[in-house]
């Protein structure tokens, strides 16, 4: 993301929120609006269990159940037994029953006959009421019978329940039978926002009657699907429905989280899978074996709306990664010369495979995998005695070795255990290899906002995986600056490579520089995902160019854990990407599962990465560039390695978040000094230069 594009230069730090809010007086379920709502100071609000950062706001109190006795003979003592009062929250949920000490009930005078409102009060201002009736005589109500159902039993969504036509007949101690006043009936169980069959409870005195009704979406309703929702708390965009499915996997209705707004006669109602008002049979048209964009239909009774999903043609696989992108025209990800690893005799390499959709359960949690390594060729030619994820390999003599790993784990597509194999070559040499023609820099941007900002500004690398590589000459230091703000970081992971074969091609081992999240004791260490892979897919959208010169079209993605989503930004063209998909592999920081439902504010405690202030430990800095140390270089297994002569530097976006008004989080490189030719950021010609 390019933060300077926003008219807002910075965010205020969001600390604990203390709010005075209105508690509106509640209303009884049937046509009893409160007369004088007031504004009390609320009791403490609980935390929303689905989002612990957001408190649930109390809207007021409500009558969950009136007293058992609501019809009285004249001068009969009032009895509140059975009265249940609850808190009602702004999300339409209710609390458990409140203790009677939490509220007061107004005195009731039964010496005067007629209908009476009995107010229940919370504090001085907030109130809700129920209705009782005092008979003008001393007769007693003996029995009740529903002698006529309501005339209307089918309702349009958003329509209020109507008692018209309902007759409940009361029989008294004097033998007289007569219809009861509708105002005495307490209605519960009706939800005008919930489509489908419902059973309504009608409570009168100590009797309860049930009435079946159906709530439907009419043909004249306007239905719009809500793929995004503007959150009010942090004002960031939340993805609400699952847009990407893996070919061969059935439509995951429960996880689709479909959400739609239905407008009927000027009333808007939100339906969702989560709320239970969108059902599995409402979705038609999904073909699990058909890759690409699919147009599905969401049918809501007599109305419908179409929506788009992407079925990704991707299979579980295992491969060795060299830090380059993979695409249709280059599916191996070899890049310029990156087909093998190079080492001298007795030099130790740590190899590790990338797993894609292998070993994860339905909730994308890592079930682990079994590894079996072997080596052949050269002077080695024996089976490697290891079953770990990483393999320490030390070639003994010059020659070419083939290192193979078999990985067994749960196949995310078929749900069965499966074994995948990957192999790579290690060339052990004593002299130098042929010279290459690599010219800095090498750029492969990820999807999203990838705009060249002109001289003196730099590059936005796109979402997670996008990178830039420089071939450098030896300098006392190298400067890479971003444009972080006080509490906003879009951390880019720094990688280093030597050039031991002297061919000026970044075809050897990349070594990551660990940052503050790797610090011993850091609460973020467990949230780092290494050898993370993500594949972006081009949508069918027509490309458009925004005011910043960016290519805008939705981009779908699937990651190595089977998680999916959508970016509303652009496709990385013309920066060397051909075809309809592109993959990247790297390190994902702070992988807390909230990829599409969070932002990246509040990160003043992160250091050792590009585009962060680095206010953490030894990486602390007071400038917009972070501090980096060669001694922080680590192998694939996390062990330290001593690098002598750095020849290549790579910066790669290491976060995967959607940042609201700023778009997808993307590492920015503002300035870079002493990095070969890369000082003025010229527009690239065709990607790899």
118 touches 183 (CB < 8 A): no
pLDDT > 70 in the chain, percent: 73
Instruction: Give 330's strand partners.
Output: 327
Instruction: Give 104's strand partners.
Output: 121
Residue 455: band (very low, low, confident or very high) from pLDDT cuts 50, 70, 90: very low
Residue 320: band (very low, low, confident or very high) from pLDDT cuts 50, 70, 90: confident
pLDDT tens for 356-414 read 999 998 888 889 899 999 998 876 766 666 788 999 999 989 989 999 999 999 999 99
Q: Is the pLDDT of residue 10 over 50?
A: no
Q: Is the dihedral of CA 326, 652, 406, 384 positive or negative?
A: positive
Q: Is the dihedral of CA 121, 124, 127, 129 positive or negative?
A: positive
In the structure, how many helices (H) and strands (E) does the chain have? 1, 47
Name the residue with higher pLDDT: 10 or 271: 271
253 phi/psi in degrees, rounded to 5 = -60, -45
Q: How far is CA 294 from CA 245, 290, 313, 640, in A?
A: 10, 8, 13, 47
Domain 317-428: give its CATH superfamily: Immunoglobulins (2.60.40.10)
Model-level pTM? 0.74
- Does domain 139-216 fall under CATH 2.60.40.3630? My reply is yes
Two tokens, residue 542: 């027509």
Report pLDDT for 37.
35
466 touches 446 (CB < 8 A): yes
At which residue do the structure tokens 């890369």 appear? 678
Quote the Cα angle for 120-126-132, to 5°.
25
Report pLDDT for 322.
59
d(CA 566, CA 558): 9
353 touches 318 (CB < 8 A): yes
DSSP conformation class of 41: P
SS3 591: coil
Q: Is the pLDDT of residue 304 over 70?
A: yes
Q: Is the pLDDT of residue 60 over 60?
A: yes
d(CA 508, CA 345): 15
571 touches 525 (CB < 8 A): no
CATH topology of domain 222-312: Immunoglobulin-like (2.60.40)
Report pLDDT for 581.
80
**In the chain, where are the structural domains located?**
1-138, 139-216, 222-312, 317-428
Two tokens, residue 107: 């005195």
Q: What is the mean pLDDT of the chain?
A: 77
Q: How far is CA 315 from CA 119, 290, 319, 559, in A?
A: 64, 14, 12, 12
Q: CATH number for 1-138: choose from 2.40.30.10, 1.10.3720.10, 1.10.1740.10, 2.60.40.3630.
A: 2.60.40.3630
188 touches 198 (CB < 8 A): no
Q: Is the pLDDT of residue 52 over 50?
A: no
Name the residue with higher pLDDT: 540 or 511: 511
Terminal CA-to-CA distance of the chain, rounded, Å? 24
- Is 1-138's fold the same as 222-312's? yes
């Amino acid at each position: 993301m390019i933060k300077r594009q926003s008219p807002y230069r910075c965010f205020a730090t969001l600390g604990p929120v203390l709010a005075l809010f209105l508690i509106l007086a509640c209303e009884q379920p049937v046509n009893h609006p409160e007369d004088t709502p007031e504004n009390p100071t609320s009791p403490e609000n609980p935390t929303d269990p689905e989002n612990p950062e957001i408190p649930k706001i109390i809207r007021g109190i409500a009558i969950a159940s009136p007293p058992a006795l609501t019809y009285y003979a004249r001068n009969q003592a009032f009895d509140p037994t059975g009265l249940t009062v609850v808190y009602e929250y702004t999300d339409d949920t209710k609390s458990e029953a409140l203790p009677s000490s939490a509220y007061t009930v107004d005195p009731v005078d039964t010496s005067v006959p007629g209908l009476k409102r009995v107010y229940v009060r919370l504090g001085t201002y907030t109130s809700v009421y129920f209705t009782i009736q005092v008979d003008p005589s001393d007769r007693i109500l003996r029995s009740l019978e529903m002698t006529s159902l309501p005339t209307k039993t089918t309702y349009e969504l958003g329509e209020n329940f109507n008692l018209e036509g309902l007759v409940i007949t009361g029989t008294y101690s004097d033998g007289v039978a007569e219809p009861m006043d509708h105002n005495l009936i307490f209605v519960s169980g009706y939800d005008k926002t919930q489509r489908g069959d419902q059973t309504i409870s009608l409570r009168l005195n100590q009797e309860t009657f049930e009435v079946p009704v159906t709530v439907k979406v009419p043909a004249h309703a306007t239905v719009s699907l809500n793929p995004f929702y503007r959150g009010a708390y942090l004002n960031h965009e939340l993805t609400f429905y699952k847009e990407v499915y893996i070919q061969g996997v059935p439509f995951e209705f429960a996880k689709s989280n479909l959400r739609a707004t239905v407008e009927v006669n000027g009333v808007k109602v939100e339906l969702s899978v989560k709320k239970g008002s969108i059902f599995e049979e409402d979705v038609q048209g999904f073909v699990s074996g058909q890759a690409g964009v699919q147009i599905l239909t969401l049918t809501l009774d007599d109305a419908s709306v179409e929506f788009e999903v992407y079925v990704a043609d991707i299979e579980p696989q295992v491969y060795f990664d060299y830090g380059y992108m993979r695409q249709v025209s280059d599916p191996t990800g070899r890049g310029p010369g990156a087909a093998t690893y190079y080492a001298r005799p007795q030099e130790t390499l740590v190899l590790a495979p990338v797993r894609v959709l292998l070993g994860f359960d339905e909730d994308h949690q890592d079930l682990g995998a079994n590894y079996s390594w072997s080596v052949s060729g050269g002077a080695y030619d024996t089976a490697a005695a290891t079953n770990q994820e990483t393999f320490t390999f030390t070639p003994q003599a010059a020659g070419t070795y083939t290192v193979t790993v078999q990985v067994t784990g749960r196949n995310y597509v078929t749900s069965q255990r499966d074994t995948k194999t990957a192999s790579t070559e290690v060339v052990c040499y004593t002299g130098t290899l042929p010279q290459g023609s690599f010219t800095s820099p090498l750029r492969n941007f990820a999807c999203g906002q990838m705009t060249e900002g002109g001289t003196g500004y730099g590059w936005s690398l796109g979402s997670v995986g996008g990178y830039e590589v420089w071939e450098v000459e030896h300098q006392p230091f190298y400067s890479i600056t971003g444009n972080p703000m006080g509490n906003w970081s879009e951390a880019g992971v720094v990688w280093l490579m030597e050039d031991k074969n002297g061919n000026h091609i970044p075809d050897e081992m990349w070594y990551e520089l660990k940052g503050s999240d790797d610090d011993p004791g850091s609460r973020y260490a467990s949230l780092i995902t290494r050898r993370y892979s993500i594949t972006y897919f081009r949508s069918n959208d027509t490309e458009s160019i925004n005011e910043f010169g960016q290519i805008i079209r939705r981009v779908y993605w699937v990651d190595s854990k089977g998680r999916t989503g959508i970016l509303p930004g652009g496709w990385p063209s013309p920066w060397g990407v051909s075809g309809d998909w592109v993959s990247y592999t790297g390190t994902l920081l702070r992988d807390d599962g909230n990829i599409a439902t969070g932002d990246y504010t509040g990160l003043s405690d992160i250091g050792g990465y590009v585009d962060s202030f680095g206010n953490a430990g030894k990486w602390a800095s007071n400038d917009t560039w972070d501090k980096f140390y060669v001694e922080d270089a680590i192998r694939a297994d996390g062990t330290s390695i001593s690098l002598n002569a750095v020849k290549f530097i790579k910066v790669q976006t290491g976060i995967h978040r959607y940042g609201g008004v700023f778009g997808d989080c993307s590492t920015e490189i503002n300035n870079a000094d002493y990095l070969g030719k890369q000082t003025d950021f010229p527009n690239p010609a065709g990607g790899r230069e």
